[in-house]
Structure 1
Amino acid sequence: MNAGVLVAVEVDATTIARGDQVMVGGQTFTVTDMTAMRGGAKRLVFSSGESFVMTRTTTLWAARRHIPLRLGRRRPPAATS
């Protein structure tokens, strides 16, 4: 099981990442590979084997796994005299 929580983020061709889950045409796809194309576009390859060309002006919502930092209990600062 993957750790972390899924967070909805707005992505474009510059911010899309491998592992993002995007919805295209009412179906969810997981990005497994990307290729940069001219004009700032990216060709996304999904785990299903299908591909999608995302132009630089295309904006999608994606589910991205985020692992929150676990901060330990903070100690009060040491007293100085």
Structure 2
Amino acid sequence: MWIFNTKIYDFHLEKIYWALGNDAIVNILEAPDNASMAVFVTSISVIGNVRTIILRVFSEADMNGILAKPQDRQVTCLL
């Protein structure tokens, strides 16, 4: 099992899931900002046998705040 020094990388390990399929382990991490997470991911990726996928997720409260913002901006979709 991997042990990460959370004090060095400035994140909190919320959950670990062992999965079936393409992803063997799914970690739920909390970091104060994107830069802190990028430092951690970069440092483990240089090992060479670790593949990472980063997803920015939003809680229900976050989404309520996002959807409450004015929608008067024009959005262009390029396909």
TM-score by length of 2: 0.23
Instruction: Mark the structure with the bigger radius of gyration.
Output: 1
Q: Return the structure number with greater helix share.
A: 2
- The TM-score with structure 1 as length reference comes to 0.23
Report which of the two has the higher share of strand: 1
